[in-house]
Structure 1
Amino acid sequence: MTRAAFLGLGAMGSRMASRLLQAGHTLTVWNRDANKAAPLVAQGARLAPTPRAAAEDAEVVIAMLRDDDVSRQVWTDAENGALSGLQPGCVAVECSTLTPAWVCQLAAQLQARGAGWVDAPVAGSRPQAEAGQLIFLAGGATDDIAALTPLLLTMGSAVHHAGPVGAGAVLKLAVNALLGVQAAAVAELFGLLQRHGLDVARASEILAQTPVISPAMKAASTNMLAGNFAPLFPTGLMEKDLGYVLASSKGQLPLVAACHAVLVQAMQQGYATDNYTSLIRLYDRA
C-alpha cells in the first residue's frame, strides 16, 4: 500500500481521498478548514496541521485545489508549503484545473528538489469521484505515470497519458472549454425554440435522437429544462477555467471568448454558485 497525502478536501478532493482509504492506502490529509477532514479521519486518515506536515512522510502527494493562487500558496508557502516537506523520490500529483504556465513552473520547482511530477486533472464531477469513475488526463514522464496508474485507478476508471509535463493541464482546459461552449449554445438555442412557440421539452427529446447532441449535453439539457441547478460544476468555476483557457491561448479563441462572456453575465445575474446548466436562466422561457 502507498503512503499518500491529499491536499484539498472540497467536493472532489474529499471523495477522491475517501476512495484511497477504501482501497487500504495510508493517507494523511490537509484542508484549510480542518473540520471538513472529520469524515476522512473517521475512516482512518491522519489530519496534518499544514501542507508541509502532510507531505513529510508521503510517497505520493495529491492536490485538488481551486485555482492557481491556492495551489501556489499550498505548495510554495515559505513556512508551511508542501514543497518544503517533500522527500526525494516522492511524486507530486496535481489534479487541480490550473494554467499550464503555473503547472510547468511548479513542476520545475519540485523536480529541482528531486521529486517526480505528474499533472493529472480529471474529467468527471462529484458522482464520478464518488464512484471511482474519474478519467485522469496525465502529463509527465512515462515512467512516473505508469508507476502511479494503479493508485489513480482507485479513484478513476482510466488514466490517459496526454504528453509531457503540462499536457494534462492543457487538455483539461480544452475539455472544460468544449463543455462550456456546448452548454452556452444549447441554452441559447432553447431560448430560440421557445420564442418560436415550440414545446422546448419535446424539441429537446427530438434533438437527443440526432447525432449532433453529445452525451454530456443530453444530460445538461435534461437538467436545464428541469430547473436542476445543483452545483456539480458551478458556473463560477467554469468561468475561471475558461478564463484560464483564454489566458493560455497563444492565439485567437473567439468561441471560447464568447462563452466566457456568457458565463460572466450569468455570474452577474447571481448564478455563480449554481451549476453551469443555470445558463438557461439567461434566456426567456416564460
Structure 2
Amino acid sequence: MKNVKIAFLGLGAMGSRMASQLIKAGYDLTVWNRTAKTAEEFAKNGAKHAMTPKEAVIDADFVISMVRDNEASKDVWFNDETGAVSGMKKGAVAIESSTLTPGWIKEMVGIFYKEEISFLEAPVSGTRPQADSAQLIYFVAGDKEAFDIAKPVLEKMGSKINFLGEPGNAAITKLVTNSLLGIQVAALSELIGVIKSNNANVTEILNAVSQTSPWAPINNFISSTIINQNFAPLFPVELISKDFNYISTINDADEQISLLKRVSEIFHAGIDNGLGDLNMTGVSKLFE
C-alpha cells in the first residue's frame, strides 16, 4: 500500500475522517485543505501537507476531493493557477466524493477525458460516525475500469460500494437519498409540533407509530434528536438545504417537484431563522 500514492483534497468534517482511514490503511497520503492548520495536523500523523491542490497531486495514483459544493469543486480541480488537474499525471484516477449536481459531474467528465485522466464520481451516504468507523455507503459512477482499480481504496473508507454506471447517476442517487431524508426530517418536525400543540405525550405516540409499517428506521434517530433537542451538527441545515437546491435543477418540470420545493422552503426558513449551523433536525424549532 505504501507504493500507492493518494492525494486527498478537502479536510472538512467528512473529508478529515475519510483521510484518516487512508492513513490507518498505510497509504502514502498527501493532503490539502483550504485552512492549512487542519492539514498540518495530518502531517503530524504521517501525511504530507501540500500548499495547493496542484502540489498535492504530483505523482498521485488517486486524487480524492471532498468539498462543499459545485463552486468549491471547480476551484479545487480547475483553478487556473492551483487546480489539481494541471498537476495530475496521465493515467491517474480522479475521484470526486462531494455532493454535486449531475450537470457539473458530466462537465467534469469531458475535461478529464481531454487530460487522459480517469474519472469517478463517488459521493457517500453517512455522517461523521460512519466516516469514523469506515462504514460509509458509496455511490460510484463513471469509468468501470477505473472503478475496479479504485474499489480497494474506497473499501478502506466504506462498507458498501455501489457501482451505478454512467456519470451523473451517482449524483442523482445521492441527491435522492438526501432528499428522502430531508422529507422525513421535515415531516417528523411538523408532526411532533402537532402532537405537542394537542398536549399529548410525544414519546408515547411515536412509540406506537414506530410499530407500524410507515415508520422508517432512520425515524428513531430523527425523532430522538428532536425530542431531546440534540442538534449537534452531523448534517447541518445549511448543507441539506443546498442539496434540495441541487435536486431542483435535475427536473425541468417544476410542477412535478412541488413536495421537494415545499421541504426546501422549510430548510431555507431554518437558515433565515438562524438555524443553519444546527443539525438538520434543528428545523423542528420552526414548529414549536
* 1:281 is aligned to 2:274: no
Aligned partners of 1:142 and 1:218: how far apart in 2? 37
Task: State the Cα distance separating 1:43 from its structure 2 match.
Answer: 1.3
Structure 2 counterpart of 1:56:
58
Which aligned pairs between 1:182-221 and structure 2 lie closer than 5 A? 182-221=184-223
Alignment partner of 2:257 out of 239, 253, 257:
253
Aligned partners of 2:113 and 2:226: how far apart in 1? 45
Aligned partners of 2:224 and 2:41: how far apart in 1? 32
Structure 1 counterpart of 2:21:
19
Write the letter of the residue equivalent to 2:287. Y
Task: State the Cα distance separating 1:141 from its structure 2 match.
Answer: 2.2
Identity of aligned residues (%): 39
What per-residue deviation string (whole Å, max 9, x for no partner) do you get for residues 225-265 of structure 1? 00000000000000001100012223321111110000011
Aligned partners of 1:147 and 1:74: how far apart in 2? 23
Task: State the Cα distance separating 1:69 from its structure 2 match.
Answer: 0.6
Task: State the Cα distance separating 1:149 from its structure 2 match.
Answer: 0.9
* 1:175 is aligned to 2:177: yes
TM-score normalised by length of structure 2: 0.97
Alignment partner of 1:89 out of 91, 106, 115:
91
Task: State the Cα distance separating 1:206 from its structure 2 match.
Answer: 1.7
Could you tell which deviates more after superposition, 263-272 or 31-40? Answer: 31-40
Write the letter of the residue equivalent to 2:251. S
RMSD: 0.9
Task: State the Cα distance separating 1:162 from its structure 2 match.
Answer: 1.5
Q: Which runs of 5+ in 1 are unaligned?
A: none
Task: State the Cα distance separating 1:267 from its structure 2 match.
Answer: 0.7
TM-score normalised by length of structure 1: 0.97
Write the letter of the residue equivalent to 2:262. A
Task: State the Cα distance separating 1:282 from its structure 2 match.
Answer: 0.7
Aligned partners of 2:252 and 2:152: how far apart in 1? 35
* 1:122 is aligned to 2:87: no
What per-residue deviation string (whole Å, max 9, x for no partner) do you get for residues 112-160 of structure 1? 1000011000000000001000000001122211211111010010110
Which aligned pairs between 1:215-234 and structure 2 lie closer than 5 A? 215-234=217-236
Runs (4+) of structure 1 moved beyond 3 Å? none
Q: Which runs of 5+ in 2 are unaligned?
A: none
